[in-house]
Chain A
Amino acid sequence: METFFRLLARKTGRLFLTVFVISTVVFFILRVIPGDPAYVVAGVDAPSEAVEAIRARLGTGRPVLVQYGEWLSGILRFDFGSSLLSEEKVSTLILSRFPLTLLLALAGMGIAYMLALPLGILSAVKRWSFWDYAGMIFSQIGMAVPSFWLAILLLFVFSVWLRIFPLFGGDTPVHLVLPVLAMGINRAAVLVRMVRTSMSVELGREYIITAVSKGLPDKVIRYRHALRNALLPLITFSGIQFGYMLGGSIIIEQVFSLPGLGRLILSAIYQRDFPVIQGGVIFVTVVFCFVNFLVDVLYSYINPRIRVS
């Protein structure tokens, strides 16, 4: 158990280091970009008072190191300043938009695993069978179809043609079915392959041969022995999958006009609302790093090989 706590401490340290590096990179890139951000926001031929006002708001007039210190301490206090356009606090904006994005990402991941696990396991267990082909075709086509086009296709089939689900422009639960499906199916295509590989690797190991020669029933071998080991690498991967879901959500929210964090960041990019861009980008990366940290800890807790050694 002691080693586990040491591992926990190390991972926590790494989490903080990553967040620190990311915030530093974001800070300095925005300073390195040619041109005064105040001019970019106000427009080149804006009156000098307007530019001066924005400069004061952004705080870009002061020494870089002072700005950097304030920037870091602001992040620790979850304070990213306020939007240049709406004057609202960036942290409030983010928190009001994030639940929807989180919901989309988690539900999408649920769908992805629900599709990929059975299909991937069946493909590995029954090689060259109908299911194996179905899995391979699904994953090849799924990887080729970009998520936003899949979303448009789903809209066409279910909203225009069958008229089961409403078209975009709302965020009631019914409006979320198609976005979640689009994200889930898109990711499932990649996951099917991973499940299949992971499962076939386990099925080819020596302990399986031992289990077979011991006369254990196929079901026990496959689902009690092989599957449990095959799932372990997939757990480490689920953290990164979550990140893909966050990224995918930015695109899907745009297709369905959903008011999530992705649309907040996108509209900030269009309007050059720097505080919102910075805050949004850092928030998303911190959430992603934190989820990966949780997954890492969970993994080392479940995996006896790491827990003991």
Chain B
Amino acid sequence: MKTCSRKKHHKIRRFFFTLSCAYLLLLAVAALAAPLIAPYSPTRQFLDKRLLEPCSEGHLLGSDELGRDVLSRLIYGSRSLLAVGSISVSIALAAGLLLGIMAGLRGKLLGGCLMLLIDGILSFPTVLLVITVISLFGYGLAQMILTIGIVFTPVFARIVRAETKSLMTEGFVESSRALGTRRLKIVTRHIVPNMLPDLIIQATILFASAIIIEASLSFLGLGVQPPSPSWGLMLKDARSYIFQAPHLAFIPGIALAATVFSLNFIGDVVAEKLNPKL
């Protein structure tokens, strides 16, 4: 009985995994080829066609309060979403690698101080931290990317440090050191490649968080600034038209939730594949 439902469970998982990959692929294509796919410019206003319902003529997903095409805004909005996600996670990954390896290789003093700082930052809830940093740096797209990058750096740094420390005691690293390999080469040859899988999983999950933060900040008016299209901004405007045009709130929200779901799900499945213990 148990094995049977487990098998079924795996089947369902595989189905959702494929679905998630397909959706993200679609999103990536939409973001890259936005000018080719989108029927209109995301900021073009058809003032005589405001608040159209989905499936209206010429506007597949309807139009918003300024008569802008929802589908076009959705397609262009995926650009800022993916840009914020990938740039901020890359910043965090690079900074986290640097800090983590430094903390892992160097002695107690520097490593200890760095870890104290990292643990201190990590003990704060993300949203609180992001809003704090944004309130100090000011708001806008660049500030948002930088803020998310800073806030995510400690997550990577902590993993990198722990892995560096444990890998440095492994036999193959010790023998390489005994042969006189330089430190930098050990790091690039042995340390970094061996922790790559863990970093990829973490990057996937943080990508999902970054997307939620992007949407939340844009919703609050602290992220992407109008008239640039962003899913968070679309939801912000939709809030005021919840009576007349609820589809304005549904469409970007569903797209957003599906993106986050796909990333989380892929992260989970990959993590399970790599560490069967969990």
Contact = CB atoms under 8 A, between A and B. Distances in A.
A33 B137 contact: yes
Nearest to B8: A128
Contacts of B132: 26, 281, 284-285
Interface string B197-220: 000000000001000100110011
Interface in B1-35: 2, 5-6, 9
Interface stretch (A81-89, A116-124, A147-155, A223-231): A147-155
Contact of B125 (A33, A152, A153, A243): A243
Contacts of A240: 123, 125
Nearest to A40: B138
A3 interface: no
B141 interface: no
Interface centre among B120, B139, B221, B257 (most CB of A within 10 A): B257
Interface in A265-283: 265-266, 268-270, 277, 280-281
A140 interface: yes
B43 interface: no
A144 B23 CA distance: 14
Interface string A26-67: 100110010000000000000000000000000000000000
Contacts of B222: 266, 269
A269 B135 contact: yes
Nearest to A280: B135
Contacts of A233: none
B260 to A, nearest CB: 4
Interface stretch (B93-101, B170-178, B234-242): B234-242
Contact of A144 (B124, B246, B258): B258
A144 B257 contact: yes
A156 B242 contact: yes
Contacts, number: 121
A250 interface: yes
Nearest to A127: B2
Nearest to A265: B135
A248 interface: yes
Nearest to B278: A197
B127 A248 contact: yes
B139 A269 contact: yes
Nearest to A248: B127
A244 interface: yes
A10 to B, nearest CB: 15
Given A146-B212, A152-B253, A243-B124, A250 B131 contact: yes
B90 interface: no
A164 interface: no
B245 to A, nearest CB: 11
A160 interface: yes
Contact of A160 (B135, B246, B257): B246
Contacts of A254: 219-220
Contact of A270 (B221, B249, B253, B265): B221
B235 A152 contact: yes
Contacts of A148: 215-216, 219, 235
A281 B132 CA distance: 6
B128 interface: yes
B138 A33 contact: yes
Given A247-B126, A269-B139, A292-B123, 8 more contacts: A26-B136, A33-B138, A140-B261, A149-B235, A149-B257, A244-B125, A246-B125, A251-B127
The 3 closest A-B pairs by CB, nearest first: A247-B127, A144-B261, A243-B125
